[in-house]
Amino acid sequence: KLLVVATGNPGKLREMQAYLKNSGWELTLKPEDLEIEETGETFAANACLKASQIAKATGNWAIADDSGLQVDALNGAPGVYSARYAKTDSERIARLLRELDNEVNRQAQFVCAVAIARPHGAIVLQSEGICRGEILRAPRGNGGFGYDPIFYVQELQLTFAEMTRELKGSISHRGKAFTALLPQLEKIKS
> Rounded to an integer, what distance in angstroms lies between the CA atom of residue 141 and that of residue 87?
21
Q: Which positions touch ligand ITT (CB under 6 A)?
A: 7-9, 12, 38, 65-68, 82-83, 110, 144-148, 160, 172, 174
Q: Which residue is nearest to ligand ITT (CB)?
A: 146
Q: Which residue in 33, 65, 66, 148 is the catalytic one?
A: 66
User: Which CB atom, from 6 or from 185, has the smaller least distance to ligand ITT?
Assistant: 6
- Nearest distance in Å: CB 190, ligand ITT: 27
Give the distance from CA 140 to its chain's centroid. 20
Does the annotation mark 66 as catalytic? yes
- Nearest distance in Å: CB 69, ligand ITT: 6
- Nearest distance in Å: CB 102, ligand ITT: 24
- Nearest distance in Å: CB 85, ligand ITT: 7
Planar angle of CA 185, 12, 52, nearest 5 degrees: 50
> Rounded to an integer, what distance in angstroms lies between the CA atom of residue 5 and that of residue 51?
9
User: Which CB atom, from 139 or from 146, has the smaller least distance to ligand ITT?
Assistant: 146
User: Which CB atom, from 38 or from 134, has the smaller least distance to ligand ITT?
Assistant: 38
What CA–CA distances, in Å, run from 167 to 81, 139, 148? 26, 19, 13
Letter string b/e over residues 94-121, b meaning 16 or more CB atoms within 10 A of that residue's CB: eebeebbeeeeebebbbbbbbbbbbeee
> Rounded to an integer, what distance in angstroms lies between the CA atom of residue 152 and that of residue 162?
9
User: Which CB atom, from 25 or from 110, has the smaller least distance to ligand ITT?
Assistant: 110
Peptide bond before 139: cis, by omega within 30 degrees of 0? Answer: no
Residues carrying an active site annotation: 66
